[in-house]
């Protein structure tokens, strides 16, 4: 069979970290191993019933059986504006400051294509969500890692960025609560970010995927709550984590008008918006009772306390996560992040994500997901204990 050569764009793409993880997991499953999957970020709870019902009822409306408006229905953008006012006291112009997107993953990749040309640079958190890299590669731009270190509370140190890289930088990705470190950002950090971005003409993209998941009575703040944020960038919010709607693929960008315009322009060439019934259900999620969100956050906090408390008692170096549904655990001495992940998989049936897969600064850590039942996490702690006893 004839083999057609791939484009240079496809050849530039980095390996898909999560896809490779799943292949590894499935290979062990195929051998009949008893595995606990703690390595992925897929919510384990169903979408709340009232949102599912809203979709079911909306699918019967003939208006949604036609092509939707290219840039989404106005009522969903208005729902986003009401959501931001209610949750963060941020005023949003629904017409010019909201873009509807096919999940945040797609939007994050698109933004590099919107604002980066060959020779430009993007500032990327290291460790960070690997799909930031994909968009930069597609734009044939330079990726400049910003190390997230424990001594800096896993916040980037802008003073450490090379001057030459700063001159080329057009885009900067941030993500708090953070995946994978679970760190959170405060207003002072965002104020510093806005000043830095304004000084160097850099567009800030704040990935707020875990915005609803904060612990110990602390609600994560929105980048847009800080004065001047709209002047320098946008915030990306997905319904995947807040409402357990990962498979629904719906998200939105909020903020700077020129960025919103660029997102909608590129999407006009890719899509004819999202199925209308999905948009109506998304509006219901944003506007109706938020009790399901509170319950979800409380559930993750109980899981965090169980897992982190159990690991600490066993002597593992791990701190309670402040946000997101991930635990960022230091690997024991003598291991790399990959060798420790492999040892856990082979000797304890525990599947975790090696930190180096999120960037060089993720070395010596593994990421553990809280998106598993209490029973599964209890069993995980038991297996960590068995592993430690065998390898002391």
Whether the CB-CB separation of 367 and 353 falls below 8 Å is answered with yes
pLDDT of residue 61: 97
104-127 per-position pLDDT tens digit: 999 999 999 999 999 999 999 999
**Integer Cα distance of 159 and 369 in angstroms:** 32
Domains of the chain: 8-46+292-391 (3.90.1150.10), 49-287 (3.40.640.10)
Number of H helices, E strands in the chain: 15, 12
In order of 23, 47, 100, 291, 369, the CA distances from 242 in angstroms are: 27, 10, 16, 11, 16
Whether the CB-CB separation of 21 and 337 falls below 8 Å is answered with no
pTM, whole model, 2 decimals? 0.95
pLDDT of residue 24: 77
**Integer Cα distance of 366 and 361 in angstroms:** 12
**Integer Cα distance of 331 and 315 in angstroms:** 11
Would you give the DSSP letter of residue 368?
E
Least Cα distance to 260 among 95, 66, 371, 30 occurs for 95
pLDDT of residue 159: 95
pLDDT of residue 27: 80
Q: Is 323 helix (H, G, I), strand (E, B) or coil?
A: strand
pLDDT of residue 392: 64
Write out residues in the chain with pLDDT < 70, as ranges: 392
């Amino acid at each position: 069979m004839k083999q057609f050569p791939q484009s240079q764009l496809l050849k530039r793409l980095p390996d898909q970290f999560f896809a490779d993880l799943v292949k590894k997991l499935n290979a062990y499953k195929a051998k009949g191993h008893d595995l606990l999957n703690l390595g992925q970020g897929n919510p384990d709870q169903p979408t709340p019933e009232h949102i599912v019902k809203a979709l079911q009822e909306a699918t019967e409306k003939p208006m949604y059986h036609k092509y939707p408006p290219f840039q989404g229905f106005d009522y969903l953008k208005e729902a986003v504006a009401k959501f931001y006012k209610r949750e963060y006291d941020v005023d949003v112009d629904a017409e010019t400051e909201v873009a509807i997107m096919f999940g945040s993953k797609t939007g994050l990749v698109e933004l590099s294509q919107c604002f980066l040309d060959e020779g430009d640079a993007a500032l990327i958190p290291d460790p960070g969500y690997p799909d930031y890299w994909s968009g930069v590669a597609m734009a044939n731009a330079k990726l400049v890692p910003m190390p997230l270190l424990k001594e800096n509370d896993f916040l980037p140190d802008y003073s450490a960025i090379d001057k030459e890289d700063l001159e080329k930088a057009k885009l900067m990705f941030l993500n708090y609560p953070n995946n994978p470190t679970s760190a959170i950002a405060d207003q002072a950090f965002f104020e510093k970010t806005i000043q830095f971005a304004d000084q160097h003409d850099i567009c800030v993209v704040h990935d707020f995927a875990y915005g609803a998941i904060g612990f110990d009575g602390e609600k994560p703040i929105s980048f847009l709550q800080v004065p001047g944020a709209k002047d320098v960038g946008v915030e990306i919010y997905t319904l995947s984590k807040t409402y357990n709607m990962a498979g629904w693929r719906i998200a939105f960008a909020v903020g700077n008008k020129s960025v919103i315009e660029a997102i909608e322009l590129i999407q006009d060439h890719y899509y004819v918006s999202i199925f209308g019934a999905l948009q109506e259900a998304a509006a219901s999620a944003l506007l109706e009772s938020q009790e399901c969100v509170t319950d979800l956050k409380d559930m993750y906090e109980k899981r965090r306390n169980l897992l982190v408390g159990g690991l600490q008692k066993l002597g593992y170096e791990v701190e309670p996560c402040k946000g997101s549904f991930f635990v960022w655990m230091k690997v024991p001495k003598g291991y790399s992040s990959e060798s420790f992940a492999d040892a856990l998989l082979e000797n304890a049936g525990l599947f975790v994500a090696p930190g180096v897969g999120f960037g060089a600064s993720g070395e010596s850590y593994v990421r553990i997901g809280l998106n598993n039942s209490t029973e599964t996490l209890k069993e995980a702690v038991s297996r960590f204990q068995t592993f430690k006893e065998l390898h002391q």
